[in-house]
Each structure stands twice: as structure tokens, then as C-alpha cells.
């Protein structure tokens, strides 16, 4: 069980240079157990900040994040995260990276190796166990980062534009890979992306965020059947959903840009 | 041909050795031409064979080893003492605001004081013995090492810390699990660079006041108008520096294998 609740959350940043920035305001979101929730929103609306809040890496300014009704105060191994920038530990091999979380929990070397091998296999990195991250392509690094997060068996998986830096072919392959793994593991996922196709292809529900200060302006249930296949992106159902999100998002992006302009002029 | 002049491209090993030898060889050749053809007076520029004779002499009478030993002892003790304190302090200063707030003002004041300006004071306080050289090397490298290591640790990506927290690391474990390994390559570079400076401080200290050491040997040779021995001293320092650098390179290969893979 891992139900994520975000209740009336606000987040302000205060710095001397720009004063107080309200990144998130009055944001609420209920993500049921085992849901694949996707968040799309204009750049700078606070998507990464939201994931950081759920991960416990940043403190809320108001409201609270809850996992199974327990308030989040600190980061913990129950909420794994995959970052947009490749965040493998460069001094560790792929195997040691994947084992990292397990070694913190004092799990026996045998079991560690077995679990690591399982996930290295699941993301298709066999043969690269002893490679360092500098020897891997971007897609491979991101696969290793996913394996590292999964090997720790978190209840909630937070993914911040994990495929944002990949080319479109690699991206498609990674999306399918992620879905196959998710179908087996059945975790609650909170996935952030810019890409509407990606959002619809992966998600059970797509939440659309407004420009800063970010709140949820629309939630779109994705009725496409599972398991999903890439041909679905051309189905009329997919295109209908895409139109709805695009209209919403376009409006938000436009407003966000106008606001910024006013901000600059005024 | 295009390959040789493409930024960051590797070149054949033979070419690598070839051009290195050629440049060093032409420097040697220039020296031979200038001295044997008497283009520069022998009082200023000794001939290679004179330098060789001087070298054999100081080697056989044991004085070269004596001076070398003194210099090496001074530099290694001074450098070691400085490094074991400055490296951890610098790493913490770059990562913990509280440490930075506490020591940054003092460190920034001290790092702009040229250590050479402190030599007279040090002579007054602790004389001209080995302790004074160690103090000069220590003061010369210590504050620079702190600042350089602080830079290295401040530049560790936030995401590495964040990801480790989401994998279950606590605030204490993050030091050994992330901070130290992430800063290690930069710390090694810092040590390598400051070791070079330490040689400079050492020789300056020995030139100012000493009763032994390579700098002292050079100074004595100057007083005796014996440029060949000056050259022996300079070459010895150069070769010792080269060897130290080699040790750093090998240590990097051994300690930091992930930085040398391609
Ligand atoms: N440490 C910080 N200090 C001050 N302001 C910050 C900080 N981090 C984020 N912000 C501000 O909060 C807002 C949201 O940032 P965030 O990184 O969450 O946006 P995002 O939606 O993830 O953007 P992108 O799509 O470009 O990744 C931004 O406007 C940014 O300026
Ligand atoms: Mg972001």
C-alpha cells in the first residue's frame, strides 16, 4: 500500500536577489495506491519542486504531503527518485550503483548481488555491470538509475523528466521498458514530463499544472487499455485526449509567459 | 594529420613520445650550441660536461644526498601536515555553511598573505632549522589547499546528495558515501598542484636562511661562482618534481579508476 496525498501545499522560496517566489500554491492531489500518475505543466511551474516535496528533500511552506496518511518530514528509502540529469555515482560501477541503497540497509552481499542482477537484467544492462557511468550512453545511464531506484524496492517512485534528455527513439524504448517493469512491480508512480505523448502513453491519470504559482488545473483519466503499445499513440482516443491536454497546457504556457513579461515590464 | 589537430582526440603513442623527445632534445641541443660555441660566457652558462663533472663530484662526496634528504624531509613533513588538516577542513567548508561562516574570513585573510612575507617572522620565532622550513611549507600550502578543496566540494552536484537521501542515506553516512568519493578526484588535483607550490616555498625558504638543503646548495654554489653546481641543484629539483608528479599520476590510476577509463 502506498497512497500519496498532497494537501493544500504551498512552497515559497525567499532569496535576497528576487525576493519571495511562490512556486506552488494551494496544490492538492490524491494519488491512489499503484496508480501511474503523470504531471505535465509549463516550464518553471514547480514540477520538480513538487517531487522534491513528496521525496522529503524540501520542506513545504504550508499544507503537507502524506504517504499512507503519514506526513512526510524527511527523505527515506520508501520514496525512490529518478532525476532528469544523470545522477549515477561516477565512482561506482553500474552494479555498485544499483546495490547502493541495499548496502545502506545492511543487506547481505549475496542478496544484494542477486537483487542488483535482477534489476540490471530487467533494464537490459547485462554485460555492463562493471562499467562506470562515464562509459555509458545517456539512455544506459538512465536505465541504470531506474534499476538503482527499483532495487531499493520503494513504495513510491518519483520520476522527474527521466527521459527528457534522450532522443525520441531511445525515449520510446525507455517508455515501453518502464511500463513493462511497472506492470510487474505495481508501484505508485509520480512521473513528471513536458511531453504530452509520453504522459498519455504512460499514465493512468494525467494532471495538468498551471504556470507559476503551480496548482492542478485539470486531471485527465487515460482510458487506453493496458498493456499499452506504441501504435496506440495514433488511435482516435489518444488524439482526443491529447487535444484536451494541449488546449489546457497551451493556455497555461501562454499565461505563464504573459505573466513573466508583465513581471519584467512592471 | 587532421586527427592530430582535433581538440581532445587521442594521438598515436609513437607520435606522443616522438614530439616529447624532440622538444626536450632541442632544448638540450640549444644549450649545447650556446655553451660549446661560447655564444654565452662560461661564467653564466656552464657546459653540459661541466655540469656532469659537478654532478659526479657532489654525488660521490655524498653532499647531494645530504641536501636532498634535508629538502625532501622538510617538504614531505610540511606538505603532509598541511594536507591532513586542510583537506577535510576544506571539504567541510565547501559543503557546510556553518564551517564556512566560521573559518572563511580568516582563511581568506591568510591566503592573500604571501608566505614569503612571513619568512622573517618565522626566522625570528623558530630560527633557521628544519622546523622553520616546515612552517613555511605548511603556511604556504595550508590556506590554498583549504580554498581549493572547498571549491571542489561546493561543486559536487546537489542531485548526487538528493539521490543518496532518497536511497536511504542519513546525514552522517552522506559524508563517507557521497561527499568524500565525489571530492576525491578534485582533492587529488589540488594536492598535485599545491605540491608544486610547496617546492617553490621550500627553495625560497632555503635561499633566505638555511644550513642545508638543495636551495642552500644552490646558494653556496652561487657564492663560489660555480654555475655548474647551480645547474645540478636545479636539475635535481626538477627531477624530484617530475618523480612526485609521476607518483600522483599512478595514485590516480590506482585510487580513482573511474576517472581514467575511456
Ligand atoms: N532553490 C530555489 N531558490 C529559489 N527559487 C527556486 C528554487 N528552486 C526553484 N525555484 C523557483 O521555483 C519555480 C519552480 O521550479 P521547478 O524547478 O520546480 O520548476 P519545473 O516545473 O520543474 O521547471 P522545468 O520544467 O523547467 O524543470 C521556478 O520558478 C524557480 O525559479
Ligand atoms: Mg524540473
Q: Is the pLDDT reported for residue A265 higher than 60?
A: no
> Contact, A54 vs A6, CB < 8 A?
yes
pLDDT in tens, B38-74: 888 888 899 999 999 999 999 999 999 999 999 999 9
CA B40 / ligand 1 centre spacing (Å): 67
Asked if the A4-78+188-265 domain carries CATH number 2.60.260.20, the reply is no
Class of domain B65-255: mainly alpha
Percent of chain B with pLDDT over 90: 78
pLDDT in tens, B1-45: 677 888 888 888 899 899 999 999 999 999 999 999 988 888 889
Residue-level pLDDT at A263? 63
Residue-level pLDDT at B1? 65
Buried b (16+ CB within 10 A) or exposed e, B3-25: eeeeeeeeeeeeeeeeeeeeeee
Cα–Cα distance list, A84 to A5, A132, A142, A211, B31 (Å): 23, 19, 9, 20, 57
The conformation of residue B179, written as its DSSP 8-state character, comes to: I
Using 50, 70 and 90 to split pLDDT, how confident is the model at A8?
A: very high
In DSSP terms, which residues pair with A161 in a beta bridge?
none
Residue-level pLDDT at A266? 47
Q: Is the pLDDT reported for residue B261 higher than 80?
A: no
Quick one: average pLDDT of A240-255? Answer: 88
Question: A91 — contact with chain B (CB < 8 Å)?
Answer: yes
Average pLDDT along chain B: 92
Buried b (16+ CB within 10 A) or exposed e, B164-197: bbbbbbeeeebeebbbbbbbbbbbbebbbebbeb
Q: Which of A57, A104, A133 sits opposite B162 (nearest CB)?
A: A57
Nearest-ligand number for the alpha carbon of A213: 1
Quick one: average pLDDT of A223-235? Answer: 87
Max Cα-Cα span within chain A? 63
pLDDT in tens, A61-106: 999 999 998 999 999 999 999 998 879 999 999 999 999 999 999 8
Residue-level pLDDT at A173? 87
Interface test with B, best of A58, A86, A87 (most B CBs within 10 A): A87
Residue-level pLDDT at A211? 84
Residue to mutate, A10, A48, A259, ligand 1, most ligand atoms under 8 Å from C-beta: A48
The closest residue, in CA terms, to atom 4 on ligand 1 is A13
Residue-level pLDDT at B67? 94
Domain ranges, ordered by start, for chain A: 4-78+188-265
Quick one: average pLDDT of A230-253? Answer: 89
Q: Is the pLDDT reported for residue B187 higher than 90?
A: yes
pTM of the model: 0.87
pLDDT in tens, A155-194: 999 999 999 888 888 888 889 989 998 998 889 999 999 8
Amino acid at each position: 500500500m502506498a497512497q500519496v496525498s498532497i494537501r493544500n501545499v504551498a512552497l515559497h522560496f525567499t532569496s535576497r536577489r528576487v525576493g519571495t517566489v511562490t512556486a506552488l500554491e494551494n496544490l492538492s492531489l490524491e494519488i491512489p495506491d499503484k496508480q501511474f500518475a503523470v504531471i505535465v505543466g509549463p516550464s518553471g511551474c514547480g514540477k520538480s519542486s513538487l517531487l522534491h516535496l513528496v521525496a522529503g528533500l524540501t520542506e513545504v511552506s504550508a499544507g503537507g504531503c502524506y504517504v499512507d496518511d503519514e506526513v512526510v518530514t524527511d527523505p527515506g528509502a520508501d520514496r525512490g527518485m529518478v532525476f532528469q540529469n544523470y545522477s549515477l555515482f561516477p565512482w561506482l560501477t553500474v552494479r555498485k550503483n544499483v546495490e547502493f541503497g541495499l548496502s545502506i540497509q545492511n543487506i547481505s552481499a549475496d542478496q544484494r548481488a542477486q537483487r542488483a542482477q535482477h534489476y540490471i537484467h530487467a533494464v537490459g544492462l547485462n554485460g555492463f555491470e562493471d562499467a562506470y557511468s562515464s562509459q555509458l550512453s545517456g539512455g544506459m545511464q538512465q536505465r541504470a538509475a531506474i534499476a538503482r531506484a527499483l532495487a531499493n524496492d520503494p513504495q513510491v517512485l518519483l520520476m522527474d523528466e527521466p527521459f527528457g534528455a534522450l532522443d525520441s527513439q531511445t525515449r520510446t524504448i525507455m517508455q515501453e521498458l518502464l511500463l513493462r517493469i511497472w506492470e510487474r512491480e505495481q508501484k505508485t508512480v509520480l512521473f513528471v514530463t513536458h511531453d504530452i505523448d509520453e504522459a498519455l502513453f504512460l499514465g493512468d491519470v494525467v494532471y495538468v499544472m498551471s504556470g507559476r504559482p503551480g496548482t492542478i488545473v485539470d486531471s485527465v483519466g487515460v482510458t487506453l487499455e493496458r498493456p499499452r503499445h506504441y501504435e496506440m499513440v495514433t488511435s482516435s482516443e489518444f488524439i482526443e485526449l491529447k487535444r484536451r491536454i494541449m488546449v489546457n497546457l497551451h493556455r497555461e504556457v501562454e499565461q505563464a509567459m504573459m505573466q513573466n513579461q508583465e513581471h519584467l515590464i512592471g | 594529420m587532421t586527427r592530430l589537430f582535433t581538440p581532445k582526440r587521442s594521438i598515436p603513442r609513437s607520435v606522443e613520445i616522438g614530439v616529447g623527445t624532440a622538444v626536450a632534445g632541442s632544448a638540450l641541443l640549444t644549450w649545447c650550441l650556446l655553451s660549446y660555441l661560447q655564444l654565452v660566457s662560461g661564467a653564466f652558462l656552464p657546459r653540459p660536461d661541466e655540469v656532469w663533472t659537478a654532478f659526479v663530484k657532489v654525488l660521490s662526496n655524498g653532499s647531494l644526498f645530504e641536501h636532498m634528504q634535508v629538502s625532501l624531509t622538510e617538504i614531505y613533513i610540511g606538505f603532509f601536515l598541511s594536507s591532513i588538516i586542510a583537506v577535510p577542513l576544506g571539504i567541510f567548508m565547501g559543503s557546510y555553511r556553518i564551517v564556512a561562516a566560521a573559518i572563511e574570513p580568516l582563511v581568506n585573510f591568510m591566503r592573500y598573505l604571501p608566505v614569503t612575507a612571513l619568512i622573517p617572522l618565522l626566522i625570528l620565532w623558530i630560527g633557521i632549522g628544519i622546523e622553520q622550513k616546515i612552517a613555511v611549507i605548511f603556511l604556504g600550502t595550508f590556506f590554498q589547499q583549504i580554498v581549493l578543496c572547498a571549491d571542489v566540494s561546493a561543486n559536487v552536484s546537489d542531485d548526487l546528495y538528493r539521490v543518496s537521501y532518497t536511497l536511504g542515506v542519513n546525514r552522517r553516512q552522506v559524508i563517507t558515501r557521497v561527499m568524500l568519493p565525489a571530492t576525491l578526484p578534485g582533492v587529488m588535483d589540488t594536492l598535485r598542484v599545491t605540491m608544486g607550490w610547496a617546492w617553490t616555498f621550500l627553495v625560497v625558504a632555503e635561499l633566505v636562511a638555511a644550513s642545508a638543503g638543495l636551495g642552500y646548495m644552490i646558494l653556496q654554489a652561487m657564492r663560489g661562482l660555480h654555475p655548474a653546481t647551480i645547474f645540478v641543484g636545479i636539475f635535481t629539483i626538477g627531477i624530484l618534481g617530475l618523480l612526485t608528479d609521476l607518483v600522483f599520476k599512478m595514485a590516480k590510476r590506482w585510487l580513482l579508476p573511474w576517472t581514467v577509463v575511456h
